[in-house]
Amino acid sequence: MKYGYFDDKNREYIINNPRTPWPWINYLGNEDFFSLISNSAGGYSFYKDAKFRRITRYRYNNVPMDSGGKYFYINDGESIWSPGWKPCKTELDSYECRHGINYTIIKGEKNGITARVLYFVPLKTWAEVQKLTLTNNSKKVIKLKVFSFTEWCLWNAASDMENFQRNFSTGEVEIEGSVIYHKTEYKERRDHYAYYSVNVPIQGYDTDRESFFGLYNGFDEPQVVAEGKPKNTEAHGWSPIASHFIEVELKPGESKDFIFVLGYVENKEDEKWESKNVINKKKAKETIAKFNTSAKVEAALADLRKYWDNLLSIYTVDSGDDRIDRMVNIWNQYQCMITFCFSRSASFFESGIGRGMGFRDSNQDLTGFVHQIPERARERIIDIASTQFPDGGCYHQYQPLNKRGNNDIGGGFNDDPLWLILGSVSYIKETGDFGILNEKVPFDNDVSVARSLFDHLTVSFDHVVNNLGPHGLPLIGRADWNDCLNLNCFSNDPDESFQTTENKTEGSKAESVMIAGLFVVYGRDYVELCKRLGKDAEAARAQKHVDTMVDVIKKYGWDGEWFIRAYDYYGRKIGSNDNEEAKIFIESQGWCTMAGIGKEEGLCTKALNAVKERLDSKYGIVLNNPAFTRYYIEYGEISSYPAGYKENAGVFCHNNPWIMIGETVVGNGDRAWDYYKKICPSYLEEISDLHKTEPYVYAQMVAGKDAFKPGEAKNSWLTGTASWNFYAVTQYMLGIRPEYDGLLIDPCIPTDWKGFKATRKFRGATYQIEVVNPDQKSKGIKEVTIDGMPYKSNLIPAFGDGKEHKVKVVIG
Ligand code: GLC
Ligand code: GLC
């Protein structure tokens, strides 16, 4: 069953049934101020860091699900309703939610009134703007009582949820005119406050939650709304909220706009106060003034659209299949921006307090984003590298607010360093900016030990070389990309986290074949970089290590039909036919085939066939097979999950594209695209009841074939799946790939495709690409022309001349 439909022209997903199988959300803002918003206006806002600067409160895992948000209540004398159906849940005469690119429009109709709310964060603005439009569609004059609502969070989202003995006494607000200010802790150590305004005179307000709702009422039945009368309360402690009360009269056919601004301000120490205990409101008023008319708001929305027109014009495809085009051209790219902004921090599955920016995650995320805004990717690379240790090791995560490594989340994941090579190389190939390698970058944020980014790549490479195990394969450390393959934890205490418990690497023989494959792929990239910088001796040194690793993988990483996954603490195989459970894993098949290890001898084809046979399922490729059915203390968290979920034989979508790329290495376009479609959200729209999460974005995991409900997705939005799918489909399957010396066009498509068209803006030129496939092949180049002239190669030069060039490629 479907709950809506795509509007590709407007780049929107239009939900027309509010009872979606799970809240379907959107993100507002793309730089500093952010909001999450569901299809019924649930969600919250924060500034930069969802943990330390949470502006409005949200209760995860609540009953009912998705309670709390940016609500409007309308009392029309007959009924009390909300434009988004929730929280009142009064049946609406019509409902629609349009999730667009960084904006959401929710529209409800009841008793002759339409209430439409546009929510967005204007560019370069520390505020969310909400434009409420009320229209009287009836033939009589209608009087309405309208209440806005949002609930303040006491800034630190973690302590906000637990330290009630303090929290219930600290809340403070100020009310001036139509603006409600939240200033808890501003008196002491904070330099920031929040506010919620409306651009018309109000007839009342409330800021004390208990007075607004009544102590025993839910979001669906605020007492004040039912009584049609605000209490004009000023919160002192307990739970401060912000609610405006507006009386509205509408003639038949009349429409009125009300503009609300929910903002955040920081003031310098000596500019904090207007007078004793009265906050300095200057900046808030400036922002409010910027959006105090409908024309200004519409202009700001038009700017936001223009901004995205530009970002989404850099790579577009016309494949002849809408479901592919809308993902590649719109939603997958949008999701890449969102994962770039948030790593794994704030979604409806990630609470915004558990995790910051991941070293590994953010490097991968920026790979799907770098073509959009390379400067931001550049800055991110430097931020990430600044948290690295001098020996190449890393904090697993850092906090976005202070950009410092965060030890609470653990460390010692031995794949981490290599992803910095991926991030840096992706950036340089997109931009040609080798200069980034000369940037001085601190270690562990200590500027006194800053070295060039290139040196950071060297220590990243060497971190593997310096940490090899008994077979010459990389030691795994706490885990590799698979956070849950914890071969050195031996945890038997349910109260400790696998991610942070003691990492018993002393004397361990635990090695990772996946890191070995990763090392070959990014080690080669490192060698190539060295050569381009004229560092031939270093290139030769590194090449030797890479060559040795290839041999070691063939010798100790091959199981006969596929690549084994790892060796455990005691040096025993994992992911081998000899194992009772989990005989085969996806990660090593992905990385070793991407590296083309043993391609000539047929190892890649064999491994990929084994994936097809053992790991493929109706809903995607599962991570391992057979699933673990009991807890193995020597494997850790992976065997803690019930069979078919998460890292234990779930379809962990993040790694499916590795196999798709692997298939392109051996030229199997039919299979690569078959895998692509299985996890592609727009292909799953019809089975939304089962799939559950949004049909416009990827989820981290879909329950695998061993699960209770195969096909059910979880953890949508914040997943490396976004960037990896974009990377796989655009660079390897459509095959338009930035290289140091130009744009390589090397598609691998299904044999029944006649071709496709694409546009790529690249280093200051625009390429209009046409690929034709007269011989029904998947891969191979028969002919190339540029601007009508035959060209010798499929590596198209970076013209950088600001012009448009027509490139035609014939597959054969
Ligand atoms: C999560 C983590 C990512 C990890 C993956 C597999 O997505 O964010 O870092 O690689 O799980 O465990
Ligand atoms: C759990 C999850 C994994 C995630 C990790 C982050 O291990 O299974 O996906 O990366 O937590 O802490």
Question: How far is it, in rounded angstroms, from Cα 646 to Cα 372?
Answer: 30
Q: Which atom of ligand 1 is nearest to the CA of 700?
A: 7
Question: How far is it, in rounded angstroms, from Cα 500 to Cα 427?
Answer: 32
Q: Is the dihedral of CA 466, 472, 473, 475 positive or negative?
A: negative
Site to probe by mutation for ligand 2, drawn from 351, 481, 499, 701 as the one with most ligand atoms within 8 Å of Cβ, is 499
Q: How far is the CA of 753 from the centre of ligand 2 (A)?
A: 39
- Quick one: DSSP state of residue 501? S
Q: Which atom of ligand 1 is nearest to the CA of 343?
A: 8
Site to probe by mutation for ligand 2, drawn from 397, 487, 647, 721 as the one with most ligand atoms within 8 Å of Cβ, is 647
Q: Using pLDDT thresholds of 50, 70 and 90, give the confidence band for residue 356.
A: confident
Beta carbon of 721 within 6 Å of any ligand 1 atom: no
Residues 150/198, Cβ–Cβ less than 8 Å: no
Q: Please list, in sequence order, all residues whose beta carbon lies within 8 angstroms of the beta carbon of residue 725, skipping any fewer than 6 positions away.
A: 327, 332, 368, 653, 656, 657, 676, 679, 680, 698
pLDDT tens profile 17-69: 999 999 999 999 999 999 999 999 999 999 999 999 999 999 999 999 999 99
Q: State residue 409's pLDDT score.
A: 76
pLDDT tens profile 209-223: 999 999 999 999 999
Q: State residue 675's pLDDT score.
A: 98
Beta carbon of 86 within 6 Å of any ligand 1 atom: no
Q: How far is the CA of 692 from the centre of ligand 1 (A)?
A: 21
- pLDDT > 90? residue 474: yes
Beta carbon of 647 within 6 Å of any ligand 1 atom: yes
Please state, in angstroms and as integers, the Cα–Cα distance from residue 550 to each residue in 472, 585, 710, following that order.
10, 19, 36
Question: How far is it, in rounded angstroms, from Cα 48 to Cα 402?
Answer: 10
Residue 775 burial by CB count (10 A; 0-12/13-18/19+): exposed, middle or buried? exposed
Ligand at shortest distance from the CA of 498: 2
Q: How far is the CA of 656 from the centre of ligand 1 (A)?
A: 13
Q: How far is the CA of 244 from the centre of ligand 2 (A)?
A: 41
Q: State residue 405's pLDDT score.
A: 86
The CA-based angle 183-170-197, given to 5 degrees, is 30
- Residue whose CA is closest, atom 9 of ligand 1? 361
pLDDT tens profile 483-533: 999 999 999 999 999 988 989 999 999 999 999 999 999 999 999 999 999
Mean pLDDT for the stretch of residues 344-349:
94
Q: Using pLDDT thresholds of 50, 70 and 90, give the confidence band for residue 410.
A: confident
pLDDT tens profile 426-472: 999 999 999 999 999 999 999 999 999 999 999 999 999 999 999 99
Q: State residue 646's pLDDT score.
A: 98
Q: Beta partners for 45?
A: 35
Instruction: Give the CA radius of gyration of the chain.
Output: 28
Q: How many residues does the chain have?
A: 812
Residues 127/153, Cβ–Cβ less than 8 Å: no
Ligand at shortest distance from the CA of 415: 1
Question: How far is it, in rounded angstroms, from Cα 309 to Cα 583?
Answer: 47
- Residue whose CA is closest, atom 10 of ligand 1? 481
Catalytic residue among 483, 525, 559, 746: 483
Beta carbon of 700 within 6 Å of any ligand 1 atom: yes
In this structure, the number of other CB atoms found within 10 A of the CB of residue 339 comes to: 28
Identify which of 769, 767, 763, 766 has the alpha carbon closest to the alpha carbon of residue 800.
Answer: 763
Q: Please list, in sequence order, all residues whose beta carbon lies within 8 angstroms of the beta carbon of residue 214, skipping any fewer than 6 positions away.
A: 221, 222, 223
Q: Ligand 2: residues whose CB is within 6 Å?
A: 483-484, 499, 637, 646-647
**Catalytic site residue 483?**
yes
Q: How far is the CA of 644 from the centre of ligand 1 (A)?
A: 16
Q: Which atom of ligand 2 is nearest to the CA of 715?
A: 9
Ligand at shortest distance from the CA of 640: 2
Site to probe by mutation for ligand 1, drawn from 654, 655, 658, 716 as the one with most ligand atoms within 8 Å of Cβ, is 654
Q: State residue 402's pLDDT score.
A: 85
Helices (H), 496-585: 513-532, 536-556
Q: What percent of the chain has pLDDT over 90?
A: 97
pLDDT tens profile 714-752: 999 999 999 999 999 999 999 999 999 999 999 999 999
Q: State residue 408's pLDDT score.
A: 79
Q: State residue 638's pLDDT score.
A: 98
Half-sphere exposure in the Cβ direction for 264 (13 Å, CA): 25
Query: Which uninterrupted H or E stretch holds 187?
Result: none
In this structure, the number of other CB atoms found within 10 A of the CB of residue 780 comes to: 15
- pLDDT > 90? residue 407: no
Q: Which atom of ligand 1 is nearest to the CA of 715?
A: 7
pLDDT tens profile 642-654: 999 999 999 999 9
- Helix, strand, or coil here: 13? strand
pLDDT tens profile 586-602: 999 999 999 999 999 99
Question: How far is it, in rounded angstroms, from Cα 264 to Cα 55?
Answer: 8
Whether the model pTM is above 0.85: yes
Ligand at shortest distance from the CA of 637: 2
Question: How far is it, in rounded angstroms, from Cα 213 to Cα 153?
Answer: 17
Q: State residue 400's pLDDT score.
A: 82
